[in-house]
Structure 1
Amino acid sequence: MKQLIKSASAVAVGAVLSLTAVDAFAHKEGDFILRVGAAQVSPNDDSSNVLGANDGVTVDSATGVGFSGTWMLSDNWGLEVLAALPFTHDIDGSGDLAGLPIGETKHLPPTVSFQYYPEFGTDDFSPYFGLGVNYTKFFEEKASPELKAALSTNDVKLELDDSFGLAGQIGADWKISDDFYFNTAVWYIDIDTEAAVKVDGITATTVDVQIDPWVVMVGFAWRF
């Protein structure tokens, strides 16, 4: 009888521990998580010289709508695809060119990452970490009227090369109700480009620009 009680107790304890382990994860293998929010892109920029030894360019911050989808490969691992509506950034001169607007560009930053959801996550709070690859597409570049006036011609074009780089992230989901969460996430993305200024069809100068932005997104997540 004692042996039977011990066996039953062991089974009960094992069942409780098993259920606890399962319930510890907000997201489980096979889940799909859609996250949508306001995203702020804040460049940590640097550049080579434009015309002289004491000049360069800076890239202004931009705010837009970001969204991502994560497929849970297991309780601990997910595959995320990050996308956004196009961001528009102003490009300005720095150093000796301070105060001169150079132009603007739009970009899209699709990023694919593997995410890790640690064991200490709970059903109410689910932190995660990610590492992946970013591809940034620049388009609709425009030279500013001020730059055209400074160069005494309207035939001025600004062209930026696309970029590949690594991306790291940290984020968390806070449970609001079943399958609905408040989400915050931060990425650091390696974005490098070469910007060319063409005057009358001829490349007048090229500038290496390291944008390397911090991206912060605040929004909501739905689990399906």
Structure 2
Amino acid sequence: MVNMKKSLTALVVGVALAAGSIQALAHKEGDFILRVGAAHVNPNDESSNVLGTDDGVTVDSATGLGFSGTWMLTDNWGFEVLAALPFEHDIDGNGSLSGLPIGSTKHLPPTASFQYYPDVGGDSFHPYFGLGVNYTYFFDEEVSPELKAALGTNDVELSLDSSIGIAGQIGADWKIGDNWFINTGVWYVDINTDADVIVNGATATTVDVDIDPWVAMVGFAWRF
């Protein structure tokens, strides 16, 4: 009976020490987490009319390299800055303009978010939720030859305004090494822009485009 009590005590102590060790290894205040991966931007778009009452534009999806850095403000709260290499999207007509390539644009989507890390998963699994502000900068707008031909002139430009909106996210880190993790994350980003079609130096039409993409990223995270 004494040996059984000693064994039971040793087991309880061992479990307690193991639990304390797991808790100690979780993301902690002062940690910095660098995440890098492939990011896919899938627009959930709609637009105002371009020339008539039954036309509009669509924005194609794009994939690129995304990366973020999170500084743990406390054991449960972090501040993240998300960035990426430029994404390039094709813009096409729809409705009565279906089949007409409009052009293309590149954009950079820096996003700053506060993240919440619930106390679950120990050190093997770290889910988190975030809410922040996105700034999207459009540049290198190009007009398609097809649009120039349809308008009967080569003097055609496309200009997209920058956007500021809310971004929400959910993600998780899965441990694969001492401070290495596989990371997955999903964002919904409020991106709205006014696209000006400029013909012979004058704005021919302005199209209000709600891009509002879902963004998914899969990659690796390093904690230090």
TM-score, normalised on structure 1?
A: 0.91
Q: Could you tell me whether the CA contact under 8 Å between 1:34 and 1:223 is conserved in 2?
A: yes
Q: Does the residue aligned with 1:75 lie in a helix, a strand or coil?
A: coil
Per the TM alignment, residue 25 of structure 1 is displaced from its structure 2 partner at its CA by: 5.9
Matched AA of 2:164: F
Per the TM alignment, residue 122 of structure 1 is displaced from its structure 2 partner at its CA by: 1.7
For 2:144 and 2:20, locate their aligned partners in 1 and report how far apart those are by CA, in whole Å: 60
For 1:24 and 1:172, locate their aligned partners in 2 and report how far apart those are by CA, in whole Å: 18
For 1:142 and 1:125, locate their aligned partners in 2 and report how far apart those are by CA, in whole Å: 44
**Which residue in 1 is equivalent to 2:59?**
59
Q: Does the residue aligned with 1:177 lie in a helix, a strand or coil?
A: coil
**Which residue in 1 is equivalent to 2:105?**
105
Per the TM alignment, residue 21 of structure 1 is displaced from its structure 2 partner at its CA by: 8.3
In the alignment, structure 1 residue 71 sits paired with structure 2 residue 80: no
Per the TM alignment, residue 22 of structure 1 is displaced from its structure 2 partner at its CA by: 6.5
Q: Does the residue aligned with 1:30 lie in a helix, a strand or coil?
A: coil
Q: CA separation of 1:208/1:25 partners in 2, compared to 1, >3 Å: closer, same or farther?
A: farther
Q: Could you tell me whether the CA contact under 8 Å between 1:110 and 1:135 is conserved in 2?
A: yes
What CA deviation, in whole Å up to 9, does each residue of 1:178-216 have, x standing for no partner?
000000000000000000000000000000000000000
For 1:130 and 1:192, locate their aligned partners in 2 and report how far apart those are by CA, in whole Å: 21
In the alignment, structure 1 residue 90 sits paired with structure 2 residue 124: no
**Which residue in 2 is equivalent to 1:189?**
189
Q: Could you tell me whether the CA contact under 8 Å between 1:115 and 1:130 is conserved in 2?
A: yes
**Which residue in 2 is equivalent to 1:212?**
212
Unaligned stretches of 5+ in structure 2?
A: 1-8
- For residues 2-13 of structure 1, the aligned pairs below 5 Å read none
- For residues 4-23 of structure 1, the aligned pairs below 5 Å read 16=16, 20=20, 23=23
Q: Any runs of at least 4 consecutive aligned residues in structure 1 with deviations exceeding 3 A, and if so which?
A: 16-19
Per the TM alignment, residue 148 of structure 1 is displaced from its structure 2 partner at its CA by: 0.3
For 2:154 and 2:82, locate their aligned partners in 1 and report how far apart those are by CA, in whole Å: 37
- For residues 113-152 of structure 1, the aligned pairs below 5 Å read 113-152=113-152
Unaligned stretches of 5+ in structure 1?
A: 1-8
Identity %: 75
For 1:38 and 1:208, locate their aligned partners in 2 and report how far apart those are by CA, in whole Å: 29
Per the TM alignment, residue 26 of structure 1 is displaced from its structure 2 partner at its CA by: 2.5
Q: Could you tell me whether the CA contact under 8 Å between 2:22 and 2:123 is conserved in 1?
A: no
For 1:149 and 1:72, locate their aligned partners in 2 and report how far apart those are by CA, in whole Å: 54
Q: Could you tell me whether the CA contact under 8 Å between 2:29 and 2:74 is conserved in 1?
A: yes
Q: Could you tell me whether the CA contact under 8 Å between 1:24 and 1:121 is conserved in 2?
A: no
Q: Does the residue aligned with 1:147 lie in a helix, a strand or coil?
A: helix
Per the TM alignment, residue 20 of structure 1 is displaced from its structure 2 partner at its CA by: 2.8
